[in-house]
């Protein structure tokens, strides 16, 4: 099984948006792509100061999903989002 470093090393080799899109469309299912996009939106909204319940309602997801994002932010993840 691969590691996060294998993914990182592959992703950073993409030279432009077209190459990145091609790579991600090959790696991820449409469902996985949507899930990642939702997670990124959760993080962005949390960082803007929106409350967890408001985010859950806006994105039509469970509060537990939003809470997970909040926890990861507190752990120092998503510094660059």
Determine the Cα–Cα distance for residues 34 and 12; give it in Å rounded to an integer.
Answer: 21
Task: Identify the pLDDT of residue 1.
Answer: 59
Annotation: CATH topology of 4-74 = 1.10.1270
pLDDT tens string for the chain (81 positions)?
Answer: 578 999 899 999 999 999 999 999 999 999 999 999 999 999 999 999 999 999 999 999 999 999 999 999 999 999 999
Domain extents for the chain? 4-74
Task: Identify the pLDDT of residue 58.
Answer: 98
User: For 12, which DSSP code?
Assistant: T
Determine the Cα–Cα distance for residues 8 and 56; give it in Å rounded to an integer.
Answer: 30
Determine the Cα–Cα distance for residues 27 and 10; give it in Å rounded to an integer.
Answer: 11
Determine the Cα–Cα distance for residues 37 and 1; give it in Å rounded to an integer.
Answer: 25
DSSP H or E run through 1: none
């Amino acid at each position: 099984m691969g590691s996060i470093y294998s993914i990182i090393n592959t992703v950073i080799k993409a030279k432009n948006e077209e190459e990145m899109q091609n790579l991600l469309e090959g790696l991820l299912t449409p469902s996985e792509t949507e899930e990642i996009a939702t997670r990124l939106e959760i993080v962005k909204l949390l960082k803007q100061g929106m409350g967890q319940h408001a985010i859950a309602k806006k994105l039509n997801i469970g509060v537990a999903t939003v809470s997970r994002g909040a926890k990861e932010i507190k752990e120092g993840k998503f510094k660059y989002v």
